[in-house]
């Protein structure tokens, strides 16, 4: 009998073999089997909420790519993880661990290969030199989770040749000024409530779950949130999905994430759609204030931008030869910075607005020019033509009969149906999706708070080397590309008409 492949394990081997110069798969299997991590959590840390949040995420993440993870500390509640995951964590101490992660302010000179970890306010502490002496307050789940992601990233680096990565010796960093202030950074205070003002999350996978874990473990949630994803959880997802375990296989991702978010958040209105984003938008007239794109394909990101939300948030990971990256973006058609399409295409590869409208409606470029340049009013034949082109009858489009033809365009009559020619992307390392989701969540939360002049928000894009060390230079302001459809006058006019009182 041929043994069933361990898809979780194979996903980890795939990502390590992709970014590492080493090519011997058997060696990588052996490395994952023999590398061991000991986590020491002193009893006096039992009331340190940040430390508990960080510890739990490390116990969540590390067994997803390592065979031996041991925990020495107060008992972790049985409800923290399902049985399939609990059995992967060894209790007590192990002999000669490859790395020991230590919480608390006591140094352990007798232990080799130590990583001390801490987080307070918006700040993260990682060091192999000395323990963290910060006081345990204020509580902030965002920094605690980001610290867990950084530590998991350091462990991942040990799977690679020493000369291939820079490992942390001493690192103090914050999510507000990005290391440009005296640490720890405790202001602004974390909000009691995070509000979702008519927001849609596209993609409930690795980054989607990380984003939701970050906001859920930070504050109470309120407002209106729609989750959109057409997929179910499978075994291979368990390598990096922080809310997904063996017990959740074959569950729709939307349903699973909605059930988690609804716990302790009774005022958050959650709507779920187990469908492709394009299908959802083709069958409804929903206009979202903000869309958070956490999907793994470019086409849907572009389609979401075409729907003209007030703000489009974007987070991504990238794994290729010698590269392990994660990033995020905040995009508005108002202002000088890139839309999502600008971010993904060079100047000579972006279709202009008329070409995209042609793909969307089935009219030729010349027909579009004629219909939008004068005072042409939409006819019933025009709507019939569009519905036939898209092979779906949308009755709500007929309300545009007698109105200017341009009212049908720009995300109102559908989404772009062009193929982006994307190829299979290598699976991300477990920590990269977590860091991407948490970073985006921190920016989402900070936008709802009063900030000091030293704060550095993401106004455009952020791009991090997941094998390096985060710094403020990772946050950049990228200008629009001149040939992108976001510069089209009609596009801008429609956007401004929708959001003029909300920008």
| Residue 298 CA: distances (Å) to CA of 124, 202, 305, 333, 416 | 32, 12, 11, 18, 12
Domain boundaries, the chain: 35-174, 193-349+437-487, 353-416
CA 67 distance to own-chain centroid: 26
CA distance 371 to 160: 58
Convert the pLDDT of each residue in 306-338 to its tens digit: 888 999 999 999 887 778 899 999 999 888 899
Convert the pLDDT of each residue in 413-463 to its tens digit: 343 333 334 445 678 899 999 999 999 999 999 999 999 889 999 999 999
The burial of 251, by beta-carbon neighbours within 10 Å (0-12 exposed, 13-18 middle, 19 or more buried), is given as middle
Within 158-205, residue ranges assigned H as helices are: none
Mean pLDDT over all residues of the chain? 87
Of residues 299 and 393, more confidently modeled = 299
Q: Give the residue-averaged pLDDT of 29-35.
A: 85
Scan for tokens 């230590």, then name that residue.
102
Dihedral Cα 103, 107, 111, 113, nearest 10 deg: 70
Select, from the ranges 144-148, 301-305, 468-472, 475-479, the one with the highest average predicted confidence (pLDDT): 144-148
* pLDDT > 90? residue 153: yes
* pLDDT > 80? residue 284: no
The whole-number pLDDT of residue 424 equals: 52
Predicted confidence band of residue 347 (pLDDT cuts 50, 70, 90): very low
The whole-number pLDDT of residue 418 equals: 37
| Residue 269 CA: distances (Å) to CA of 11, 12, 227, 259, 414 | 35, 36, 11, 12, 26
Select, from the ranges 229-238, 354-363, 490-499, the one with the highest average predicted confidence (pLDDT): 229-238
Convert the pLDDT of each residue in 206-251 to its tens digit: 999 999 999 999 999 999 999 999 999 999 899 999 999 999 999 9
* pLDDT > 60? residue 349: no
The whole-number pLDDT of residue 45 equals: 93
Q: Give the residue-averaged pLDDT of 69-75.
A: 96
Q: Give the residue-averaged pLDDT of 279-307.
A: 85
* pLDDT > 50? residue 345: yes
Of residues 301 and 375, more confidently modeled = 301
* Lowest-confidence region among 33-47, 334-348, 368-382, 428-442: 334-348
How is domain 193-349+437-487 classified at the architecture level of CATH?
3-Layer(aba) Sandwich (3.40)
The whole-number pLDDT of residue 390 equals: 65
| Residue 65 CA: distances (Å) to CA of 12, 107, 155 | 6, 28, 10
pTM: 0.86
Q: Give the residue-averaged pLDDT of 157-182.
A: 88
The whole-number pLDDT of residue 420 equals: 38
Select, from the ranges 26-30, 44-48, 469-473, the one with the highest average predicted confidence (pLDDT): 44-48
Within 234-352, residue ranges assigned H as helices are: 253-262, 277-282, 298-306, 340-344
Predicted confidence band of residue 502 (pLDDT cuts 50, 70, 90): low
Q: Return all residues near 478 (Cβ < 8 A) that are at least 6 apart.
A: 337, 338, 342, 343, 460, 461
The whole-number pLDDT of residue 425 equals: 67
| 341-357 burial code (b ≥16 CB/10 A, e <16) | bbbbbeeeebbebbebb
Q: Are 206 and 226 in contact (CB under 8 A)?
A: no
CA distance 158 to 19: 13
Strand 68-72 and strand 89-91: the pairing is parallel
């Amino acid at each position: 009998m041929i043994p069933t492949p361990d898809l979780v394990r194979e996903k980890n081997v795939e990502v390590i073999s992709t970014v590492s110069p080493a090519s011997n798969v058997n060696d990588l299997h052996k490395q994952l089997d023999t590398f061991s991590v000991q986590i020491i959590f002193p009893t006096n840390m039992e009331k340190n909420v940040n430390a508990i949040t960080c510890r739990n995420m490390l116990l969540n993440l590390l067994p997803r790519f390592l065979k031996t993870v041991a925990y020495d500390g107060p008992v972790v509640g049985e409800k923290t993880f399902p049985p399939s995951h609990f059995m992967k964590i060894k209790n007590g101490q192990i002999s000669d661990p490859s790395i020991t992660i230590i919480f608390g302010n006591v140094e352990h000179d007798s232990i080799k290969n130590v990583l001390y970890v801490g987080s307070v306010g918006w700040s993260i502490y990682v060091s192999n030199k000395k323990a963290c002496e910060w006081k345990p307050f204020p509580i902030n789940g965002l920094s605690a989770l980001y610290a867990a992601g950084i530590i998991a990233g350091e462990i991942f680096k040990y799977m690679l040749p020493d000369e291939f990565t820079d490992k942390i010796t001493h690192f103090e960093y914050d999510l507000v000024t990005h290391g440009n202030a005296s640490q720890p950074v405790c202001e602004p205070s974390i909000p009691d409530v995070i509000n979702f003002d008519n927001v849609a999350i596209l993609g409930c996978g690795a980054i989607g779950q990380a984003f939701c874990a970050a906001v859920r473990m930070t504050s109470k949630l309120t407002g209106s949130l729609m989750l959109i994803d057409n997929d179910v959880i499978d075994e291979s997802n368990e390598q990096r999905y922080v809310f997904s375990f063996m017990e959740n296989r074959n569950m729709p991702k939307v349903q699973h994430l909605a059930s988690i978010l609804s716990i302790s958040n009774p005022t958050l209105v959650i709507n779920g759609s187990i469908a492709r984003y394009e299908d959802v938008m083709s069958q409804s007239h929903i206009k979202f204030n903000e869309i958070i794109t956490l999907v793994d394909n470019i086409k849907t990101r572009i389609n979401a931008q075409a729907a003209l939300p007030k703000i489009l948030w974007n987070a991504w990971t990238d794994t290729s030869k010698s590269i392990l990256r994660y990033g995020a973006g905040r995009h508005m058609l108002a202002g000088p910075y890139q839309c999502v399409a600008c971010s993904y295409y060079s100047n000579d590869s972006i279709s202009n607005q008329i070409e995209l409208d042609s793909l969307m409606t089935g009219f030729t470029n010349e027909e579009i020019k004629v219909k939008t340049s004068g005072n042409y009013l939409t006819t019933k034949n025009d709507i019939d033509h569009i519905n036939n082109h898209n092979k779906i009858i949308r009755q709500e489009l007929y309300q545009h009969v007698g109105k200017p033809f341009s009212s049908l365009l720009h995300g109102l009559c559908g989404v772009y149906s062009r193929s982006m020619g994307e190829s299979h992307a290598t699976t991300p390392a477990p920590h990269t999706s977590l860091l991407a989701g948490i970073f985006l969540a921190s920016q989402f939360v900070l936008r709802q708070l009063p900030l000091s002049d030293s704060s550095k928000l993401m106004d455009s894009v952020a791009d991090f080397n997941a094998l390096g060390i985060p710094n403020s230079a990772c946050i950049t302001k990228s200008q629009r590309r001149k040939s992108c459809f976001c510069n089209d006058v009609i596009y801008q006019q429609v956007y401004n008409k929708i959001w003029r009182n909300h920008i």
